[in-house]
Amino acid sequence: MLTFCKNLLELGCAWCPAGRSQSPIQPPCVPMLYHGDPSHYRCDTECKSCLDLSVGYDGTIHLWEPFTTIKIYVSTKTHPTKYKAAVCAVQEAINDWNAALSGPHDPRPRFQQVETKGEATCQVKFKRQPTCDECDQDPKKGEVLAHAFFPDQHPTIILYTAAFKESNVVYLKNVLNHELVHVQGVRHYFAVNEDKAWGLKPSTEVGEADEFSISNYLYPLDKLTIKPSDVSALAELYAGKYETIHDLPVSYHKAVLLSAWKEGMVPDTESVSESNSECDSEGWYFVEM
């Protein structure tokens, strides 16, 4: 996966189902990064101590196979009183991202909410606030609202209790829009810089800088909306199927049923996610306390 967290460069080539090619994307001469105001909130998909588990953690760009439909199930087993708000917010976020598709021939991921876990390829769960010491020590202070995953990780989105506070729940759709950009393989806007600072394996950025990207930390939370630059960037990223982008290998993933993880058809990382949920992958969303 890349830290390609931002808006993307022109790919300059159309999707070709016949095979994969070298990407025409050219690395920007100067990384275009913007940290925004780190004091307000954070998305836990990128806990600093665990950046080696986020996009680009293995020096690989992880994306979905073209035309993948990600089927989302909202769990009722925990915090069921929050279920209705979550179902509505998930559907609103799905509508926003699907509306950004150019049509049925757009190869980007699309989303669908389903009623049963058996037909789902992604789940939304509810959890108490995390207590991970590593995350608490991160300079980006605040309460964790949500946590997402990347295409190569266990497909679970976590909503924490702070997301349902009166001051936050009205923006739950906005937070989920941010999490769904991670699900599509996008790192945080500032991820390249942090990777370098921590001496991690390379990630990369594709596209023209936009500090208001949905992949950035924006405050107030109502600023977390899908921007035209996000749409064009993702469209260009998924416009072809590439062997490499910026010299990083690209790995394409299929969305499989949740049951497949349990049955061993794919590596079952849920036990890791459950036991260390506060620190895996790139997607905590924090808000000022």
pTM above 0.85, yes or no: no
Lowest mean pLDDT among 8-12, 94-98, 162-166: 8-12
Q: Which domain holds residue 44?
A: 34-287
Q: What is the mean pLDDT of residues 169-175?
A: 94
Any domain includes 89 = yes
User: What local confidence, expressed as pLDDT, does residue 220 receive?
Assistant: 83
> What percentage of the chain carries pLDDT values higher than 70?
57
Query: 13-27, 202-216, 242-256: which has the minimum mean pLDDT?
Result: 13-27
The CATH number for 228's domain is 3.40.390.10
Q: With contact defined as beta carbons under 8 Å apart, do 120 and 258 qualify?
A: yes
pLDDT single digits (tens) 178-204? 999 999 988 765 555 565 656 666 666
pLDDT value, residue 1 = 27
User: How many domains does the chain divide into?
Assistant: 1
Structure confidence at residue 278 (pLDDT)? 34
Domain for residue 228, yes or no? Answer: yes
Write down the pLDDT at residue 269: 41
Q: Alpha helix locations (H) across 140-288?
A: 166-169, 172-183, 191-197, 228-237, 258-262, 270-275
Q: Is residue 72 part of a domain?
A: yes
Residue 246 has pLDDT above 50, yes or no: yes
Average pLDDT for residues 96-110, to the nearest whole number? Answer: 95
Instruction: State residue 132's pLDDT score.
Output: 54
Token output for 52: 């080696």
Give the pLDDT of residue 258. 94
Q: What is the pLDDT of residue 195?
A: 58
20 found inside a domain: no
In a domain, 4, yes or no: no
Q: Is residue 277 part of a domain?
A: yes
Residue 181 lies in a domain: yes
Across 244-272, average pLDDT? 76
Question: To the nearest whole number, what is the mean pLDDT of the chain?
Answer: 70
**pLDDT score at 111:** 98
76-82 long-range CB contacts below 8 Å, 24 or more apart? Answer: 77/125, 78/125, 78/126, 78/127, 79/126, 79/161, 79/164, 82/126, 82/159, 82/164
